[in-house]
A = this chain, B = another copy of it.
Amino acid sequence: MLSKSQIKLIKSLSQKKFRNTHGLFVVEGIKGVREFLNSDFELFSIYSTGERFKVQKDLLNLIDERELKKISSLKTPQKALAVFKIPESKEIELGGIIVALDGVRDPGNLGTIIRLCDWFGIETLICSKDTADCYNPKVVQASMGSLTRVNIKYLDLKEFLVGQTEIPVLGTRLEGENVYNSILPNPAIVVLGNEANGISEEIGSLLDGKITIPQFGKVQETESLNVATATAIILSEFRRNSTTEK
């Protein structure tokens, strides 16, 4: 049985302020819950329509479909929902390729970018404070467990970039150099910007290099690639060298 206070708590976690107050977030679906259980994330409680997880008994709540519907944020609830503790983010290790997001607002885009970081072996993702929250349910859903493998750090991006001078900072700008012809450094920090406005002026002035994905079609100049697909292409370019040089 679900108590009223459990329902209230879980539903409140769809909002960032309550996630921060409680230090908790929600994962839905059997596959997703399993991935978080197999990671360093600490379980707070689990709600399942069947005995399918080996966890501490007092953390497991067997519920029925009707009850799950009450706490799920999905149109079609996925048999299990778990609440995990938001971990302290680890310190940033400067090395390899680091991705930095400057105001990416769409949870779906952030989720896709986290998944791309995971795929391309990017261990650290830096987010400006106005970037979408990575524990937003839509981000958790879209990142599909990659959230357990990428270290995500929210910070004042300007302060961070001013403070670090070891590693070159590259960003995507329309007037940048053709990414296919650029020599891409490693280590590097790669900055991607907001969906509507790209990289802010403030952050733009801190870039050591500007790159762009050239356009081949008859698209109007004002159009741009979606930030998640741009990230896919840029990370692919950074990584292709390490395989083709073999």
Contact = CB atoms under 8 A, between A and B. Distances in A.
A205 B242 CA distance: 31
A180 B121 CA distance: 16
B112 A217 contact: no
Contact of A219 (B119, B223, B225, B233): B119
Contacts of A242: 216
B120 A243 contact: no
B112 A229 contact: yes
Interface residues of A, number: 40
Contact of A218 (B116, B121, B230): B121
Interface in A164-222: 178, 180-181, 213-220
A115 B149 contact: no
Given A122-B217, A178-B243, A180-B240, A112 B226 contact: yes
Interface of A: 108, 112, 115-122, 144-146, 149, 178, 180-181, 213-220, 223, 225-226, 228-230, 232-233, 236-237, 239-240, 242-244
